[in-house]
Structure 1
Amino acid sequence: MSPSFKGIGCMCLGVLFLALGDAVSKWLGETHSPVQIIFFRTLVSLPLIAVLAHFSGGLIKLRTRRPGVHLVRGLIYTGTMGCFVLGLTLLPLAEATAIAFVAPLFVTLLSVPLLGERIDAPVLAASLLGFAGVLVVVRPGGDAFDPGALVLLGAAVFYALLMITARRYGKHEHLWAMVFYMTLVPLVISAALLPWVWQAPHPWHWPGFLLSGVLGIGATAFITLAFRYAPAAIAAPFDYTAMLWAVLLGWWFWGEMPDAWVWVGSTLIIGSGLAIAYHDRRTTLKRRPTA
């Protein structure tokens, strides 16, 4: 099997794990506070990250000279998780997933003021098309507008900031150090807030908390492998298979079925993302030195 096909397979599997983790969080969110869900998810994830770091070169990989950077990234990640878990409890799974797809567009636009990067005209046009798709899904001012959509947009902005900081400091810090401290901060914060929101889990909720953490780390590992095997322009578009899983899981467990506007908006958002990926691939090929 070629490296590209391995990358695509890992990406699809990682996205499946993400979708399953979102479904588990939505289910748990019917009873428990997002703070409690974040606490158990990070409590399970952190030791697994340490184990993966150990087998990827040793715990020395967790050393850092930039604790302040990791603290900021951890706070951003806390905001990402909090908004996203809360949004999952307020909106149908497929609609929440569609809105979350806008995060890469925020990365593209925010990279201009925060990283000093330039955006080509085709990328800007595709980004505006994606935001038009978000407006179609959210429908602000309409009868179908749900304030939960704003919470999901907040999660997308936080996630974009997380990716921008990863791009800014990823060359200077090891991957597992970035992931470890990013997970440690929300664990500490949620642990401090837990006494005020604690709800005794039912016996069948404990496997859900455990599964949420395992699925999160599995998704991170497989998506990381995907980008090692295949170029980003090939692997990244398969992130949109999450929409298929979200529709299936939402229909199966909650009887949710997206309306026509969600499908139209999702098509615009996904189309803009694919257009940006295609443009990046063409630009990369043009910049390669000829033989």
Structure 2
Amino acid sequence: MTVVAAPDQAAKNLKATGFLLLGSLTFTFEVVLLRYLGDHVPFAQIVLFRALAQILFAGVWMSTTVGWVALKTSRPGMHIVRGLFSLACWWLYYASFASLGIAMATVLAFTTSLFTVLLAGPVMGEKVGPLRWAATLIGFSGVVIAAGLDHLKFDPAVIMALFSAAAGAGIVMSNRRLSTTESTQTIMVYIGLVTIVGVLPVAIWQGGFPSGWDIPLLALSSLTGCCGMWCNIEAYRIGEVSAIAPVPYIRLLFAALAGFVFFAEVPDPRFWFGAVLIVGGALLISVRRKARKE
């Protein structure tokens, strides 16, 4: 029997879809800017600006909602772990987009769901069923095809993108632990603080400071990334996961279009076949997770 969402929930799902579409557009705009900046701005500076923007964004959000008292925490160690995952994820994410085609880097970022399944058992003690294992294997076979690994084409940037996705899985798991006691704003502020502490020595060691148009472009890309993250948070706060699960993958089409328009990138048929397997595996995992909760 087909379950139809109540009118109230259907309206929320539609609103959530709008948030996810806006998030996909802003994330795509962010990586276009990063592709330009990555040619001459060190990644440490890009990550530093991103962390500063996150603190600013989350600070304003916190001051207008839960208040600054939310900075008080009894779990500093877990916040440090969460922040280190973000530092690794952001650095490798930006590095992969600087070297790979935008569409390829985007589809590899979607493998976070696959890594989450691999780590769910040993790290979270979750029982992973055969369907989710099958979906994970399908997804990783898509990585092999899309990236040409079956032809032994080992691009270091592909490895960076996959490590970024693995760090993203660490983010998902640490979020699950922290969200039981901490607000989203609190988590975001501490992510920014830990990332700044981790990346600032590298930024100082590399020397120099952005100048000219690089400064407003860095600020714009960083705030764009924060806005995209906020759109995703709001979408999953009000929408049903099973109803909106396919929407984020529209970002792949946005990425392919941006790559073609701005950088004359044209993915080959192998890429699209692999992308279908990656997205299909990730979707199956998402829908199956929702079904298990119900």
Cα deviation, residue 12, structure 1:
1.4
Distance 2:41 2:246 in 1: 33
Q: 1:53·1:62 contact (CA, 8 Å) conserved in 2?
A: no
User: Is 2:23 aligned against 1:14?
Assistant: yes
Q: Which residue of 2 aligns with 1:64?
A: 73
Check the 8 A contact 2:32/2:258 in 1, yes or no: yes
Match of 2:53 among 33, 41, 44: 44
What is the Cα deviation at residue 42 of structure 1?
Answer: 1.5
Residue of 198, 218, 224 corresponding to 1:209? 218
Q: 1:281 to 1:56 in 2, by over 3 A?
A: same
Distance 2:272 2:106 in 1: 12
Would the aligned equivalents of 1:237 and 1:277 in 2 still touch at CA under 8 Å?
Answer: no
| Superposed CA offset, 1:24-66 (max 9, x none) | 1221101111101111222222112100111122111222111
How many residue pairs get matched?
A: 285
State the 1:126 CA deviation: 0.8
Displacement, 1:141? 6.0
| CA deviation after TM superposition for structure 1 residue 225, in Å | 0.8
The DSSP-based 3-state class of the residue aligned with 2:271 is helix
Of 3, 6, 13 in structure 2, the residue corresponding to residue 4 of structure 1 is: 13
Partners of 2:245 and 2:179 in 1: how far apart? 18
Q: CA deviation at 1:193?
A: 1.5
Q: For 2:246, which of 234, 237, 243 is the aligned residue?
A: 237
Q: Deviations over 1:58-90 (max 9, x none)?
A: 111222111111111111111111111111111
The one-character-per-residue Cα deviations of 1:171-214 (angstroms, maximum 9, x if unpaired) are 12121111111121112222222122234434221221111121
Of the three residues 84, 92, 96, the one matched with 1:75 is 84
Q: Normalising by structure 1, what TM-score? A: 0.93
Q: Hey, what does 1:283 align to over in structure 2?
A: 292
2:247 partner letter: F
Q: Distance in 2 between matches of 1:278 and 1:163?
A: 16
Question: SS of 1:2's equivalent?
Answer: helix
Q: Secondary structure at the match of 2:57?
A: helix
**1:64-103 → structure 2 map (5 Å cutoff):** 64-103=73-112
| Partner residue, 2:113 | 104
Q: Which amino acid aligns with 2:257?
A: L
Indicate the percent of aligned positions where both proteins have the same amino acid.
Answer: 29
C-alpha offsets along residues 234-273 of structure 1, whole Å, 9 cap, x if unaligned?
Answer: 2232111110111111111111111111111101011112
The Cα shift of 1:233 comes to: 2.0
Is residue 99–residue 137 contact of structure 1 (8 Å, CA) maintained in 2? no
Residue 36 of structure 2 aligns with an amino acid whose one-letter code is W
CA distance in 2, matches of 1:216, 1:236: 20
Structure 2 gaps, min length 5: 1-9
SS, match of residue 207 in structure 1: helix
The separation in 1 between residues aligned to 2:53 and 2:226, in whole angstroms, is 9
Are 1:15 and 1:239, in contact at CA under 8 Å, matched by a contact in 2? Answer: yes
Task: Name which of 215, 221, 235 aligns with 1:226.
Answer: 235
Residue pair 1:115, 1:168 contacting (<8 A) in 2 also: no
My pick for the range that moved more, 239-248 or 272-281, is 272-281
Amino acid at match of 2:230: A
The two structures have a TM-score, normalised by structure 2, of: 0.92
SS in 2 for 1:118: coil
Aligned-pair CA distance for 1:222? 1.1
The aligned amino acid for 1:142 is H
Which residue, out of 175, 183, 203, partners 2:184?
Answer: 175
Please provide the CA RMSD for this pair.
1.6
Choose 169-178 or 136-145, whichever is displaced more.
Answer: 136-145
